[in-house]
Chain A
Amino acid sequence: MGNKQTVFTAEQLDAYQDCTFFTRKEILRLFHRYRDLAPQLVPLDYTDRPAVTLPYELIGSMPELKDNPFRQRIAEVFSADGDGNMTLDDFLDMFSVLSEMAPRDLKAYYAFKIYDFNNDDYICKSDLEKTVNKLTRNELTPEEVRLVCEKVIYEADADNDGKLSLEDFQRMIVRAPDFLSTFHIRI
C-alpha cells in the first residue's frame, strides 16, 4: 500500500496490471529481475518510457531459461522484432503468458508460435523435425525422427494438408490436460 515506488507512475502500473496477469508487487519484482540482467543499461526511472532493449544473450542466460532447449524460440516469439532482443514490455509479456494464471487458449497460441520455427503459421514437417531434435538432444537417428514426425502429423492433422494449423494444435491441447501445468515458468 502506498506509492513508495518511483519506478513507474501509478497509471503505468495500472496499465501493466490490466494487460498482464501480475499484481503490482510482482511487476516491480520482475522489473528488478530485468534490471539485474544489465544494471548499467536499464535506468531505475521508467516514468518517461525509455526505449531500452536487452540483447538475447542476456535474456538467454537467466536461470529460468538457460537450460531450456527452446529458449531461443521463446525469446524470438516474444520479442518485438523477432530476433530475441527484448524490451521490458516484451519481458513482462513473456512471463505473463508463461505464468500459471494465463488461460489455456492463450498458452496454446504462443506454444504454437514457439514450435513454428519458420514463422509461416503452420507447423510443417521441418518444424516438427527441429522440435524432436531439440527435445531429444539429437539422440535419435534421422530415420526415427522421420517416423515420429509422420506419426504426429497423421494423428493430429484434421484437414489432411500435411501440416498442423493452429486449430489442429488447439485440438491436441484439449487432449493433454497437463499442458497448463507444464507450459509454465515460475519466476
Chain B
Amino acid sequence: FFAEEKLVASLASMSTSERIKAIQKMPETMKKKREIRNKVLKEITKKSRHHCTQLSCCTECLQGAVVRFRRFGNSLSEHFHQLWLWHRVLKIIGAEFGTSVLSYFIFLKWLITLNIFSFLINFGFLAVPQFVAAEPNDLSFKGLELITGAGYFQQTVLYYGFYTNATISKIENGPSYHMQLAYIFTVGIYFVICFLILLFSMAKSFWRNFINPQTYSGNASKLLCTWDFNITSEEAVKLKQKNLSTQIKEDLAEVSREVLSYSVRERVVRIGIHLVSWVASLGTAVAACAGVYFLSINNLKLFVKGRKNDLETQAAMLVLPIVTSLLNTSIPFFYSWLGHLERFQIPGQQIYVTIIRNITLKISIVGILCYYWLNVVAASESQCWETLIGQDVYRLVLVDFIFCLLGSFFGEFLQRIIGTTVCVSRGLPEFDIGRNVLDLIYAQTLTWIGILFSPLLPAIQMISFSIVFYVKMVSLRMNCQPPRKVWRTAQMTTYFILLLFFPSFVGVLSVVGVTVWRLKPSEECGPFRGLPSMYAAVAEWVKTLETYTASKWVVWIYHNLITSELFFFILSALVLIITYLYWQIKEGRKTMTKFLRKQIINVRNDKMFLLKQLRELQRAKHSPSAP
C-alpha cells in the first residue's frame, strides 16, 4: 500500500507527457493502471486546489484548454496517418514473409517519404516563384521526351538552365524574390536537413538495436527471442518451425564439425580460389567503369556536335543509361554465382562478401559518372552544361527504374517458372533483400546528385519508388517463398542506414561541394550565369549586407565563423575530445558490468553455502535430542 502511495506521489509531480509515458510503461493490468491514473488525477487537482485558490478559475480554464489542445493534436495526427494505406499492405507482407522481408518495404516507404519532402521543398521555393517569371516555351512536345528528358523539357522548370538569375517581383517596389540566393540556400538547407535526418535515424537505430558483437553467441536468444509473432499464415508458421528444428539439429551437429581442420594443401587451394574470385570481381568492376567512361565521352560528342532533334540522336542519347543499368543489373548475378563457387566456411560470410562486391561496383560506377560530369562535361563547350548533367541524371533514373521492373520480372517470375516446372529441386526463389536494398540506395544516390541540376527530380523518384513498391509486393506474393535462414534484421537495417549515410550521402555532399565551389557556371543559362562560381552569389550578398548596419552580425558570423579555418579546427578538436571522453566512460562501465556479474555468482554461492551449513546444524541439533 505504501509503495502505491509513493508511486502516486511521484507520478503526480511529473509533467503531463512524462506521466502518460510512465503509466503506459507500467507492467500492470488495465484495471490497475486506470485506478492509479484516477488516483493521480485526484492528487493533482487536490494539489492545485491547495496551492492557488485565487487563481483556481484561471488554472482550470488553462487545464481544460490544454486537454482540448492535446485531443485536437491527437486527432490531427490520426487523420494524417490514415492517409497512408501502407498499414494493411505491410501487415500482409509481415504475416506471410516475416520481419526481414518487411524491413525492405519499410525502408522503401521511408525513402518515399524523404522524396516527397524533397519535392515539396524544391517545388515551393524554386519552381513556384519561377512560374511567376517564366519565359514562354517555344519547343514542341513529342512523346519521346518522357524518356529522354530533352526537347520540350529543356525549357521547363525541370532543369537548372530554365531558372532566371534575376530578382522576381510582380509588383513595382513590392517584395522581391532573389532567385540566385533562393536556389543556393534552398539546396544548401535541404542537404543540411537531410544530414540531420540521417544522423538521427542512424543514432536511433544504433540505440534501439545496440549490437554487442562479442556476446552474440546466440543460442539462448535464438531460441527464446526470435520467434516472429508477425507471421500469421499457417504455411509460413509450419515452414518457420521446420526451419528452426533443422537449424537446431545443425547446431547440435556442428559442435563436432568445428574440430575439423584443413590440411596445408587444402588451405592453399581455398585461399587461391578466394583470391581468384576477388580479382575476377574487381576486374569486372574496373572493366564496367572503363566501358561506361568511354561510352560517355562518345555521348558528349553527340551533344556538342549538333542539335538535331531527330529520332536517331534521341535514341543515341539512351545508349549510355541503358548500358549502365544493364551492367548494374547483370554483374550482381555474376557476383552471386562467384559466391556459390567459393565454398565459404561460414554461410553468413557469403552474403557479406557478395554485398561488399556489389557496393564496390555501384560506388565505382557512380564515381566514374561523377568524374565524367564534373571534369569533362563542365569543361566542354556546350551551351548549358548543368542542364546536360540534369538530363543525363534524369535518363539514368528513368532507365534504372525500368530495369528494376524488368529485373523483378526476370529475377523472380522466371525463376519461379523454372523452379516449378523444369528444375523442381530448386523450388521457389527467395526474395534477395541485400541486392534490392542496394538498388534502392543507388537510385537515391542518383536523385541526390541530380537535385542541384534538376530540382524536380525527387517527384519522378517518388512516383517510381511507389510503383516499385507495388510491383515488388505483387511479385513477392506471387513468386517467392519466405527466407530459409535467419536474417539478422535489426543489424542489417542499421547497416543499410549506415550505407545510405556514408558512401552515398557523404559522396553526394562532396560532388555538390565541388560543383558549388570550384566549377564555373555556364554563361548563358541558369541562376548563376556570369558569376565565377555558384558560391560567389553568397559572397556578393554578404558584401551588399555590409552596407546595412542592422545586419552587421550576419556579416560578422560569415567572416569569423563560416569562412575562418580556426573555427572549424576548434570545433573538430572539441568533437574529438568529447568522443574520447564518452569512449572512456563506456570502457569503465564495461569493466563495472563484468565485476558486478561475478559478484552475483559469488553472492549466490555464499547463500547456498550458508543454507547448507544451516541445514547441517539443524540436523545435528535434532538427532542427539531424539530419544
By a beta-carbon cutoff of 8 Å, the part of chain A in contact with chain B is 1, 14-15, 17-21, 23-26, 63-70, 80, 89-90, 92-93, 96, 98, 103, 105-106, 109-111, 115, 131-132, 135-137, 139-140, 144, 147-148, 151-152, 155-156, 158-161, 169, 172-186
Contacts and interface: CB of A to CB of B under 8 A. Distances in A.
Contacts of A180: 208-209, 490
A103 B33 CA distance: 17
Interface string B158-195: 00000000000000000000000000000000000000
Interface string B112-147: 000000000000000000000000000000000000
A21 B74 CA distance: 12
B242 A18 contact: no
Given A63-B232, A155-B220, A158-B600, A1 B72 contact: yes
Contacts of B75: 1, 24-25
B232 A175 contact: no
Most buried by A among B27, B600, B601: B27
B605 A160 contact: yes
Contacts of B228: 182
Nearest to A19: B33
A80 B29 contact: yes
A173 B20 contact: no
Interface of B: 20, 23-25, 27, 29-31, 33-34, 37-38, 67, 71-72, 74-79, 82, 87, 90-91, 94-95, 99, 103, 208-212, 215-234, 237-238, 241-242, 244-245, 248-249, 252, 488-491, 597, 600-601, 603-605
Contact of A155 (B209, B211, B219, B597): B219
A23 B78 contact: yes
Which 6 pairs between the two chains have the least Cβ-Cβ distance?
A177-B209, A177-B490, A176-B221, A89-B30, A136-B245, A176-B225
A89 B220 CA distance: 33
A156 to B, nearest CB: 4
A68 B77 contact: no
Contacts of B216: 175
A155 B209 CA distance: 21
A15 B34 contact: yes
9 contacts: A65-B232, A68-B237, A92-B30, A135-B223, A139-B242, A140-B248, A161-B604, A177-B490, A185-B230
Contact of A144 (B212, B222, B248): B248
B221 A173 contact: yes
Nearest to B247: A136
A185 B227 CA distance: 12
Contact of A184 (B78, B230, B234, B252): B230
B82 to A, nearest CB: 8
Contacts of A63: 232
B244 A135 contact: yes
A109 B27 CA distance: 7
A137 B240 CA distance: 10
A131 B211 contact: no
B488 A178 contact: yes
Contacts of B238: 137
Contacts of B94: 186
A23 B81 CA distance: 11
Contacts of B99: 178, 181-182, 184
A136 B247 CA distance: 10
Nearest to A105: B25
A68 B232 contact: yes
A185 B229 contact: yes
A1 B231 CA distance: 34
B224 A182 contact: no
A152 B241 contact: no
Nearest to B605: A160
A19 B241 contact: no
A103 B37 contact: no
A136 B241 contact: yes
B210 A182 contact: no
Contacts of B248: 132, 136, 140, 144, 148
Given A135-B223, A178-B489, A182-B225, A17 B241 contact: no
Contacts of A70: 227
A90 B31 CA distance: 9
A160 B601 contact: yes
B38 to A, nearest CB: 8
A151 B223 CA distance: 11
B91 to A, nearest CB: 4
B34 A67 contact: no
A169 B220 CA distance: 9
A23 B229 CA distance: 22
Nearest to B38: A15
A166 B210 CA distance: 20
B224 A115 contact: yes
Given A19-B37, A90-B29, 19 more contacts: A1-B79, A19-B34, A20-B24, A20-B30, A26-B78, A69-B237, A69-B241, A103-B25, A131-B223, A139-B242, A151-B220, A152-B224, A158-B597, A159-B601, A160-B604, A175-B215, A176-B222, A179-B226, A186-B94
B27 A132 contact: no
B221 A67 contact: no
Contacts of A176: 218, 221-222, 225-226
Nearest to A93: B30
Contacts of A184: 99, 229-230
A147 B74 contact: no
A172 B220 contact: yes
Contacts of A172: 220-221, 224-225
Contacts of A173: 221, 225
A101 to B, nearest CB: 8
A21 B229 CA distance: 18
Contacts of B34: 15, 19, 89
Contact of B220 (A67, A110, A152, A178): A152
B252 A144 contact: yes
B223 A132 contact: yes
Contact of B37 (A15, A105, A183, A186): A15
B225 A139 contact: no
A89 B34 CA distance: 10
Nearest to A109: B27
A89 B227 contact: no
